[in-house]
Structure 1
Amino acid sequence: MGFHTFDVEKADRLERPGVRYRWVSAEEVIGGLDPAADAAVADLGSGTGFYTDDVAPHVGSVYGVDVQTEMHDRYREKGVPENVELVASDVADLPFDDDELDGAFSTMTFHEFATPASIAELARVLRGGSRLAIFDWSADGDGDDGPPVDERYDASDAVEMLETAGFAIDSASTRTETFAVVARAP
């Protein structure tokens, strides 16, 4: 399953509000995180910063984490808010101290990094009790949008991986073509 990254040549497709908000709204992401005004959070698979930009006004700082530096280049061309720091990293090897982050979120990228090593790394860098909000394409979907169905997980897969790593699940839902899981770090 999964593990491909979004084609940088198609990065302009990541900046279409009418399409992106159809599947995950800014309010859902912010509500899932429920951040404090001074929180330090990470956008996992930040790409061109579409959702990073939505979260930035509500927190102290956002780390835009992406394994593709070319995505960061696209984000810089668009303009990066002052409280956003771009971090080139795989989720399985984050450059943060233990318990450094007050939250993290992933929008349509969980299928790209969903491994036990990545989930364990998130448990390490997230402060105990902080939220991890995941929104992704569901294996229950029809595959007309997003990655092929065989590269996706469903909500129960995400819940199982998170619980195995010690996360407590606040909510999990399957929606049209996507799923949403909000969990608390151990």
Structure 2
Amino acid sequence: MGFHTYDVEKAEALEDPGRYEYVSVDELLALFEPAGEVADLGSGTGFYTDDVAPYAETVHAVDVQAEMHDLYREKGTPDNVRFVTAEVADLPFADDALDGAFSTMTYHEFASDAALAELARVVRPDGLVGIADWSAEGEGNNGPPRSERFAAADAVEAFQGADFTVERAQERRETFVLSARKD
């Protein structure tokens, strides 16, 4: 399952407003508390980073591909966005440095025990992590192949095993959403 990166050659598709069909800005903001210092895990070209930036002091646009940051810079970035080239399993933040984190349609690319342990290390106690991703239970008409996806139940189990309390998890037509609070 998963553990791949999005093809930079197709990055233009990440700017498609049709993405809001799968997770709207309001829904994303309701999954976590976008205040203080937050990280967008798998930020890509910053499509959702831009939407969260007005509500946070600092948004760390985390992506493993520096080329995605280059594309984001080309389109322009809010003043409070900081670029971080790193894997989620190896984040360059101090312990408890983040007030929250979110990921839109990229959890399947980084989901691992190591990545969730790293999130537990860098998110402060009581901080929220919001996840919206393609579901293994989904129809499979869009997004990555179903074999590369996780179901909400898989994500719940993984987060609970990493010192988070899941406050919300819901399967939907093609995606799932999850909100987890750091213990």
2:61 equivalent in structure 1: 64
C-alpha deviation, 1:35, in angstroms: 2.8
Equivalent pairs, count: 183
After TM superposition, the structure 1 = structure 2 runs for residues 5-154 of structure 1, keeping only pairs within 5 Å, are: 5-17=5-17, 19-36=18-35, 39-154=36-151
| Structure 1 range deviating more: 25-34 or 69-78 | 25-34
The answer to whether the 8 A contact 2:139-2:173 is kept is no
User: Which runs of no fewer than 5 residues in structure 1 stay unpaired?
Assistant: none
The one-letter code matched in structure 2 to 1:134 is I
Within 1, Cα distance between the matches of 2:180 and 2:26?
17
- Seq. identity, %: 60
Within 1, Cα distance between the matches of 2:140 and 2:34?
32
C-alpha deviation, 1:141, in angstroms: 1.1
Normalised TM-score (structure 2): 0.99
C-alpha deviation, 1:143, in angstroms: 1.5
The one-letter code matched in structure 2 to 1:34 is E
The one-letter code matched in structure 1 to 2:33 is D
The answer to whether the 8 A contact 2:123-2:182 is kept is yes
2:153 equivalent in structure 1: 156
User: Which of structure 1's runs of 4+ aligned residues deviate more than 2 A?
Assistant: none
Aligned-residue CA RMSD (Å) = 0.6
C-alpha deviation, 1:4, in angstroms: 1.0
Within 2, Cα distance between the matches of 1:121 and 1:108?
19
Within 2, Cα distance between the matches of 1:29 and 1:144?
22
Deviation sequence 1:86-126 (CA, Å, 0-9, x none): 10000000000000000000000000000000000000000
C-alpha deviation, 1:142, in angstroms: 2.1
Within 2, Cα distance between the matches of 1:70 and 1:176?
32
Within 2, Cα distance between the matches of 1:174 and 1:58?
26
2:176 equivalent in structure 1: 179
The one-letter code matched in structure 2 to 1:90 is E
Within 2, Cα distance between the matches of 1:166 and 1:94?
17
Q: Secondary structure at the match of 2:83?
A: strand
Normalised TM-score (structure 1): 0.97
User: Which runs of no fewer than 5 residues in structure 2 stay unpaired?
Assistant: none
| Structure 1 range deviating more: 121-130 or 141-150 | 141-150
